[in-house]
Amino acid sequence: MKRIIVAVTAAFLTALLIGAPSAAVQAQTGSTTYTAQLSQLNGTGSSGTATVAVNGNSLTVTINSTGLVPSLPHAQHIHIGGTNSCPTAAADTNNDGRLSTTEGAPSYGPIEVSLTTSGDVSKTSGLAVDRMPSADANGAVTYQRTFDLPAGITPQMVAQGVIVQHGIDPNKSGTYDGATKSDLDPSLPAEATDPANCGKLMASAGAGSTPAASNTPAASNTPAGSATTPTTGVVSAPNTGDGATAGQSNNLLAIELAVIIGLVVVGGGVATYGFIRRR
Ligand SMILES: [Cu+2]
């Protein structure tokens, strides 16, 4: 009788644990985080990191970048289309020594989401520089905003997106000037709209990816150390559904899956042991 109880208990435990991973994944599917490492275009030396957390129709975009023109606004967008990639210098098809936004379009496609600080985020706000973030006196831009996707843009499209920040100052005048006019708006100098950096959004791997953890100094990003509660990993899954800390959720998910796999192995061992003893 005792052996039967052991075997039944082990079988139940195993079944429970096998069922657990799907429950844990479901608790996480509300939010997906994408990360882009921003690299310079037009020799600006600019770099940075952008994260996009997608939660249903809502996006939370966080950008921290440096090397931009100090104290000037920088138009920034999610471009979608082309080959969904960042251009190289070879994209300067008219060989004038600078890469215009249009010349980069075969790589990153058109503007689809305008990363404004307030109001409309559709492509029609692409050059709304009065609602774009300004770099600080050191040329750093810090941006975070949560907003709903503009009409016609799906989360699947965002997953293919490329982040681009615009505004360069090759003549070091400290302002957007020069005789060359913008390919996007002839009333603006080209410097105001030429791309300064670019980064392709990539799905943040569930395995506690370092990009997601390192790029949000402004957010209250609790380090992964706090997530080391292995024995209760499955039980704690529901409280990680908070979209604002999607990177953290990914870390928790990875830990939970590791714990679940471990428990399944142990459960299987116990079941096997009970089965052998029964014979
Ligand atoms: Cu753009």
Looking at the predicted structure, is the pLDDT value of residue 247 above 50?
A: no
Question: What digits encode the pLDDT tens for the residues 182-230?
Answer: 999 999 999 999 999 999 999 986 533 333 333 333 333 333 333 333 3
Other CB atoms within 10 Å distance of the CB of residue 66: 17
Q: 272 C-alpha to center of ligand 1: Å?
A: 59
For residues 147 and 251, the model is more confident at 147
Mean of pLDDT values over 1-15: 39
Q: 65 C-alpha to center of ligand 1: Å?
A: 15
Question: What digits encode the pLDDT tens for the residues 148-195?
Answer: 999 999 999 999 999 999 999 999 999 999 999 999 999 999 999 999
Residue whose structure tokens are 């796999």: 261
- Full set of structural domains in the chain with CATH: 2-28+227-278 (no CATH), 31-203 (2.60.40.200)
What amino acid occupies position 106? P
Mean of pLDDT values over 105-115: 98
Q: 232 C-alpha to center of ligand 1: Å?
A: 44
Looking at the predicted structure, is the pLDDT value of residue 42 above 60?
A: yes
pLDDT attached to residue 204: 80
Looking at the predicted structure, is the pLDDT value of residue 22 above 70?
A: no
Question: What digits encode the pLDDT tens for the residues 75-106?
Answer: 999 999 999 999 998 999 999 999 999 999 99
Mean of pLDDT values over 124-131: 97
Token representation of residue 265: 């192995």
Q: 269 C-alpha to center of ligand 1: Å?
A: 55
> Residue 64's beta-bridge partner residues?
49, 142
Among 11, 1, 16, which Cα is nearest to 270's? 11
Structure confidence at residue 29 as a pLDDT band (50, 70, 90): low
Mean of pLDDT values over 129-144: 98
Residue 177 CB partners (closer than 8 Å, separation 6+)? 171, 189, 191
Q: 159 C-alpha to center of ligand 1: Å?
A: 16
What three-state secondary structure class fits 76? strand
Q: 75 C-alpha to center of ligand 1: Å?
A: 7
Mean of pLDDT values over 46-60: 97
pLDDT attached to residue 260: 41
Looking at the predicted structure, is the pLDDT value of residue 121 above 70?
A: yes
Note the residue count of the chain: 279
- pTM, to two decimals: 0.66
CA distances (Å), origin 62, targets 6, 88, 146, 177, 247: 52, 25, 9, 29, 12
Token representation of residue 141: 């831009």
**Which DSSP state fits 67?**
S
